[in-house]
Structures are given as C-alpha cells and as structure tokens.
Structure 1
Amino acid sequence: MSTTTNKDFRAPSESKRAPKAVADGIGGMILGVAEIGGTPEQVFNALTTDEVTKWWKYPGFYFQKDWKADLRPCGQWSVTVELADGNEVHAFGEFCEIGYPNKLVMTRIFDKHPFQGSRETTITYRFEPSPYGTLVTIRDEGFIGRSQAAYGNADIWEKVMGWLDAYLSAK
C-alpha cells in the first residue's frame, strides 16, 4: 500500500475553471458554469450596473453602451449593443428576483436577433463563493423552437463568462 496521497480528481483545479455552457436545443435551455475571479458581490454588481459596458464586449463584433437599470423586482433594464458595422440592437427586460449577492433572475428580449427574433428568455444567475472567487451558474431558458439560437447563445455565454473573469481578475 502506497503512503503517497493522491489528489481527489473531483477537487477544484485550474483546468476546471474554464467557462462551459451547453444547450438543450429541443428543451430550449442553456446551462453554463464558470469560476470567476471576484467575490459574489463583485460579480453581481458587474452584471447589474453600468460596469457591464466596461467588460461585456466582443472586439471586432460588438460592444455595449447606454446601460440603464432599476434594480428591484419588476424593475426595467436596457442596454444598446453597437455592432462593428455601426448598427445597433437593443436588449431589455425586467428583474424578476433579486437575492443579492447570491441570485438574480431577469428576462431578456432583443429588438432584433438573427436566430432568436424578439423571443423573451429568462436568465437565472447563481453566485457561490469558491476557491477561485465565485462559482457562477447561468440558466437561460426560452429557446423552445429556436435551437440555433440556443446553441449560438451557449457559445456566447462561454465567452461572456471568460470576459467577466478576465475583467474581475485584473481588478
């Protein structure tokens, strides 16, 4: 019997930190997880204040501007997404549940989206302290009948969580 201790394969590790998202195109839902370098309070604030405009951008494709939010249940939020060609897409919705700093539920609608159209989705964020900062779980629902939008948005959620991690880790 060996006296060396093997690290439990289920324990958190650097390789498990990478954002991951998967879509259930038939069920119309996306589930994403990421370890984000920052406290639950920092992550919550980065997603619900005009701080969004500092980090939620896809260089060469789009950036966000004009963030507005009334952070309370039934409060409205909106943001303008400016595309690289100068066109704009408006996203908006309302906050459904606010459990600062551990949970946020909100709706989202785009005025125009190539795959999603103006379909409303509901996003649930959960924030748990973790060895690396905060474990973020995202559930984005409302894609039934729009499987291309679900798969495309899953890919974007991985990028978004990576941008948020890079932003908060640098602070």
Structure 2
Amino acid sequence: MASAEILAAPERVLAALVTDEVERWWGSPDTYRMTGWAADLRVGGTWSVIVRTADGRRLPADGAFVEIETPRRIVQTRRYDWDHPTLGRKETTVAYLLEPTACGTRLTICHGGFAGLADAAAEHADGWARVLGWLQAYAGRLVAA
C-alpha cells in the first residue's frame, strides 16, 4: 500500500491514472516513461502501455478493469508482457482508492498478488512511492498553471 495527498479533485486524479494523461507525468528521464497508453475504461475493458526504460528498452504491460466506481475506486489487473526480474509475468491487482479532502484527494494504492514474492513486493512498494511523488508534482504544475 501507498498513499498520498494530491492537490487535485478526485476526477482529475482519476483521469491522470487511467487515461493517456499517464504519458505526461508517469516516469522520469533517469528511470522509465509510459508511452502508447490505450484503455477501454469499463468493467472487463482492457488497458495497455509500453514502459520505455532509460536505456531504451520497450517493455509492454497490460491488464483489465475489474471494478469501476468513478471517481472513487478503480481496480485493475496488471501483468508485464516480459520477464520482470522479481515478478516474472505474474498477474497482480492494483486498486486505486480516491477520497476527497479539503485540499484535493487522498489517493491510496493497494497492489496485491505478491504472495511468496517478497522481493517483488518490496520493489513495487518503492515504485509506488516514486509514482505518487511524480503525480504530486504533476498536480502541482496543473494548479500553478
């Protein structure tokens, strides 16, 4: 689990998470960037993205939307279409929980499916902390504009 206050309304945060807007903020030049985002935002609909690493590799990921309660909750499956070093191609589940606050949105991310994969769980926990930082910075730029 990871959680952060985002200075944007739940609808804006949700759009940043599940539309091609992810290409504007998710990543950094020294880690990876999301490109080619495509999604059919409905229960049973699928999503896909290409993770472009700093060293130029193109790593596809995809999944399906399992639950949608806009703008409060989105649950989706997630699978790498390549051999992730700690997770392989195991499918996991990501839940985005959005709660309105006085300043914007409390976003909590619950990422499950790591039973028996402690290294993968720890790596993804670190990754979500980084992603929330990128999203906070992005939302701050939107407010300032």
Q: What is the rounded CA distance, in whole Å, between the counterparts of 2:134 and 2:90 in structure 1? A: 25
- Higher helix fraction: Structure 1 or Structure 2? 2
Q: What is the rounded CA distance, in whole Å, between the counterparts of 1:156 and 1:132 in structure 2? A: 24
Q: String of CA shifts for 1:112-133, please: whole Å, max 9, x gaps.
A: 2111110111011110111221
Identity of aligned residues (%): 47
Q: Identify which of structures 1 and 2 has the higher relative contact order when contacts are C-alpha pairs closer than 8 Å and 6+ apart.
A: 1
Residue 129, structure 1, aligned to residue 100, structure 2: yes
Determine which of 48, 59, 62 is the counterpart of 2:29.
Answer: 59
Corresponding residue for 2:55? 85
Residue 149, structure 1, aligned to residue 120, structure 2: yes
Runs of 5+ unmatched residues, structure 1: 1-30
Q: What is the rounded CA distance, in whole Å, between the counterparts of 1:34 and 1:132 in structure 2? A: 12
Q: What is the rounded CA distance, in whole Å, between the counterparts of 1:161 and 1:132 in structure 2? A: 16
Corresponding residue for 1:105? 75
Corresponding residue for 2:90? 119
Counterpart residue identity of residue 138, structure 1: I
Residue 158, structure 1, aligned to residue 134, structure 2: no
Deviating above 2 A after TM superposition, structure 1's stretches of 4 or more consecutive aligned residues are none
Q: How does 1:37-56 map to 2 (within 5 A)?
A: 37-56=7-26
TM-score (norm. length: structure 1): 0.80
TM-score (norm. length: structure 2): 0.94
Q: What is the rounded CA distance, in whole Å, between the counterparts of 1:131 and 1:44 in structure 2? A: 17
Runs of 5+ unmatched residues, structure 2: none
Counterpart residue identity of residue 94, structure 2: I
SS in structure 2 of the partner of residue 108 of structure 1 = strand
Corresponding residue for 2:139? 168
Q: What is the rounded CA distance, in whole Å, between the counterparts of 2:115 and 2:60 in structure 1? A: 22
Q: What is the rounded CA distance, in whole Å, between the counterparts of 2:94 and 2:32 in structure 1? A: 21
Q: What do you get for the CA RMSD once the two structures are aligned?
A: 0.8
Counterpart residue identity of residue 147, structure 1: A
Corresponding residue for 1:74? 44
SS in structure 1 of the partner of residue 60 of structure 2 = strand
1:111 CA displacement: 1.4
Q: What is the rounded CA distance, in whole Å, between the counterparts of 2:45 and 2:16 in structure 1? A: 17
Corresponding residue for 1:24? none
Structure number with greater Rg is: 1
